């Protein structure tokens, strides 16, 4: 089993507080705050990071599936729009919209959509987020 670690620190202050998120690999170190989550202040937020992880996982899995099917992609780009809703008792990540664009020689739109749909169901981050409504748009260019 592979284990990856990320850490977050938090210090409250008169403006709500702030903290830092860092990845064990050193590839990520970012500031976050209440205002970067719910407002427009600089910094990241959990939803943005979750979206980035989901988009990356989806691309890795889709590249593998397409290659296995005999159509290695020239390029894949995926955006993940993560919806955070206020619900009774707090907040809930309710939706994720995956929007993927692929440049894949030798494949048609229908097969690309089918591969993308299967990957949406099977990528590890999608499985971890099974309580969230995940939608997919896929376009071949």
**In a domain? residue 132:** yes
Do 17 and 54 belong to one domain? no
The 3-state secondary structure of 55-91, one letter per residue: HHHHHHHHHHHHHHCCCCCCEEEEEEEEEEEEECCEE
Do 89 and 116 belong to one domain? yes
Give the pLDDT band (50/70/90) at residue 112: very high
Whole-number pLDDT of residue 9: 97
Q: How far apart are CA 4 and CA 137, in angstroms?
A: 29
Q: Could you tell me which residues come within 8 angstroms of residue 44 by beta carbon, excluding any fewer than 6 positions away?
A: 21, 30, 31, 32, 36
SS3 39: coil
Do 54 and 34 belong to one domain? no
Q: How far apart are CA 17 and CA 139, in angstroms?
A: 41
Q: How far apart are CA 133 and CA 96, in angstroms?
A: 6
Do 66 and 22 belong to one domain? no
Domain span holding position 13: 6-38
Structure pTM? 0.94
Q: What is the pLDDT of residues 4-55, one digit of tens each?
A: 999 999 998 877 889 999 999 999 999 999 999 988 899 999 999 999 999 9
Q: Which of 8, 138, 117, 4 is nearest to 65 (CA)?
A: 117
The overall longest dimension of the chain from CA atoms, in Å, is 58
Do 53 and 34 belong to one domain? no
Q: How far is CA 128 from each of CA 14, 45, 79, 97, 106, rounded to the nearest angstrom?
A: 35, 19, 18, 15, 32
Do 62 and 13 belong to one domain? no
Do 21 and 50 belong to one domain? no
Do 56 and 88 belong to one domain? yes
**In a domain? residue 58:** yes
Do 28 and 53 belong to one domain? no
């Amino acid at each position: 089993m592979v284990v990856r670690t990320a850490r977050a620190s938090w210090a409250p202050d008169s403006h709500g507080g702030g903290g830092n998120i860092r990845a064990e690999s050193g590839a990520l170190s970012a500031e976050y705050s209440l205002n970067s989550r719910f407002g427009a202040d600089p910094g990241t937020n959990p939803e943005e990071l979750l979206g980035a992880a989901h988009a990356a996982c989806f691309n890795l899995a889709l590249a593998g599936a397409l290659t296995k099917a005999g159509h290695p992609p020239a390029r894949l780009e995926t955006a993940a729009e993560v919806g955070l809703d206020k619900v009774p008792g707090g907040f809930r990540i309710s939706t994720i919209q995956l929007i993927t664009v692929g440049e894949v020689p030798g494949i048609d739109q229908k097969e690309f959509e089918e591969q993308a749909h299967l990957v949406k169901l099977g990528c590890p981050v999608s499985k971890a987020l099974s309580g969230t409504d995940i939608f997919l748009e896929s376009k071949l260019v």
